[in-house]
Amino acid sequence: MLAYRYLYISGLLSYFVLANLLCANKPLPFLPGERLEYDLHWGIFPVGYASLEIAPRTLSSQEPWKISFFVRTNNFADSIYKVRTNITCWVDSNFTKSLKYIKTQQEGRTRKHINVDFDYLQKKISYTEKGYPTRILKLDKDVYDPLAIAYAFRYWPTAEGTSKVFPTSDGKKFLDVEVKVGEAEKIRVPFGSFKANDVIPNMKTLSGVFKKSPKGILRVWYSQDNRRIPVKISSKVIVGSFTAKLKKAERLQKNL
């Protein structure tokens, strides 16, 4: 009996070691230093640009992933509704949970500086907004921040026709964001033509402008290849229709 248990445990350990080795050797969908740039349009009018960037890091290290998002309006849009928003987040090396989230927001008359710390040892989330007292949320599971889920979707493959739920927190509340993967279609953007899957998050779990738009739709087209690049983003909300199309990309993973 002892020998049987020993063999069982040894076999189980060997399986997990082999699985980890296979995962370690599997190419990631994105690389440190990847940068994606987008043209923004409101209907037919160009209104600005946005960028997504992964900071340089050593792939074999345990240091966190650092991801940044920046969006700004052009001179035309500035006269109507000026936007200068910068978001940075840090995700653990295995891409299982967020560690920190910082947002500097300038949108119209709104000015905010938000800092969110995810402390898994003390089981709490600290939400700090300039000018307000710190809020504390109890944390009892791994979660992603609102920016990290865009890359978590890329990191963890989801088959066409299926959906996946990402536990998420912005520091004020918890949400289970369900994303559904639609059929692939050909998408043309300034950077080129791609066969891409139409991915739709569940609007019932989102807040902000979507909360005011019951029929609001957010759609992201991810390339169908191993890189799962977000090549196009489209939203229809109460204030109109916005589209972001990929115009430039640097340090992409190889298309296998």
256 within a domain of the structure (yes/no): no
From the list 64, 65, 69, the residue with the least C-alpha distance to 50 is 69
User: Could you read off the pLDDT of 211-239 as tens digits, one per residue?
Assistant: 444 444 789 999 999 999 999 999 876 56
Question: Percent of the chain having pLDDT more than 90?
Answer: 74
Show Cβ contacts of residue 155 under 8 Å, excluding neighbours closer than 6 positions: 28, 29, 30, 95
Q: Which domain holds residue 237?
A: 2-250
Are 216 and 203 within 8 A, CB to CB? yes
Residue 66, amino acid? K
| 152 occurs within a structural domain | yes
The answer on pLDDT for 165 being more than 80 is yes
Structure pTM?
A: 0.85
Is 185 a member of any domain?
A: yes
How many domains, the chain? Answer: 1
Is residue 255 in some structural domain? no
Name, in order, each residue with C-beta under 8 angstroms of 4's C-beta and a sequence gap of 6 or more. Answer: none
Distance CA 229, CA 254 (A): 12
C-alpha–C-alpha distance, residues 227 and 29, integer Å: 4
CB 29, CB 47: distance < 8 Å? no
Q: Kindly report the CATH number assigned to the domain that includes residue 183.
A: 2.40.360
pLDDT per residue over 19-53, tens digit each? 443 444 578 999 999 999 999 999 899 999 999 99
